[in-house]
Structure 1
Amino acid sequence: MNFCSEPGRIFARDENGRLVAEVTFPQQGGVAVINHTFVDPSLRGQGVAGQLLQAAADTLRQQGLRAHPTCSYAVHWFSVHPDQQDLLV
């Protein structure tokens, strides 16, 4: 899946321009609060949410930011990816 990004957001749209996947992480004082993950039901079970979180983690690392996950999926994703724990505040 091809993701687009803008500050504090990584997302994907389908061929009709409809939002089908998104993770949002507004920044507050050098910390990105990962507060929302959405995957359209048509894409669930295909690993898209995990791809979104990996893209967000890569983006935060490149920007030198730390992460504070508040979205339940993001909390879970970080718990099963010990290699990403260094991003957490």
Structure 2
Amino acid sequence: MASVTPPGLAYEVEHLPDQHRFQARVRGELAVLDYTLEDGQMVITHTGVPEAIAGRGIAGELTKVALRHARDNHYTVVPDCEYAQHFFENHTEYDDLLAP
């Protein structure tokens, strides 16, 4: 489990490997990043943050924790959801993780 503390919020990003999910509960709301694993690739299939807690960088933190996990486990990443695609466009420091 990774602790993340953005300004004004304190929450933990939890990894649930059996469910292929990273999640964070913030102010009673559940934000998630879902993925699949296939042939050494982490496919990010869904990132969701409820409107009540949107705009606080939570999806970005979930993605960063997931990408650290991918890097630590030598996975390449396929950003299959719209948010993950946008994240990679704006964070070129993770380009080395992109699947060919």
What is the TM-score of this pair, normalised by structure 1? 0.90
Task: Count the aligned residue pairs.
Answer: 87
Instruction: Please name the residue that 1:82 is paired with.
Output: 92
CA distance in 2, matches of 1:76, 1:2: 23
Q: Cα RMSD over matched residues?
A: 1.4
What is the TM-score of this pair, normalised by structure 2? 0.81
Q: Deviations over 1:19-72 (max 9, x none)?
A: 510001110110011010010111101000111110110111111111001100
Q: Is 2:25 the counterpart of 1:13?
A: yes
Larger % of strand: which? 2
Question: What secondary structure is seen at the aligned counterpart in 2 of 1:35?
Answer: strand
Contact 2:31 2:48 (8 Å CA) reproduced: yes
Residue in structure 2 matching 1:52, options 45, 57, 62: 62
CA offset at residue 3 of structure 1?
A: 1.1
Name the structure, 1 or 2, with higher relative contact order (CA <8 Å, separation 6+): 1
**Regions of 4+ moved over 6 Å:** none
Partner AA of 1:63 in structure 2: N
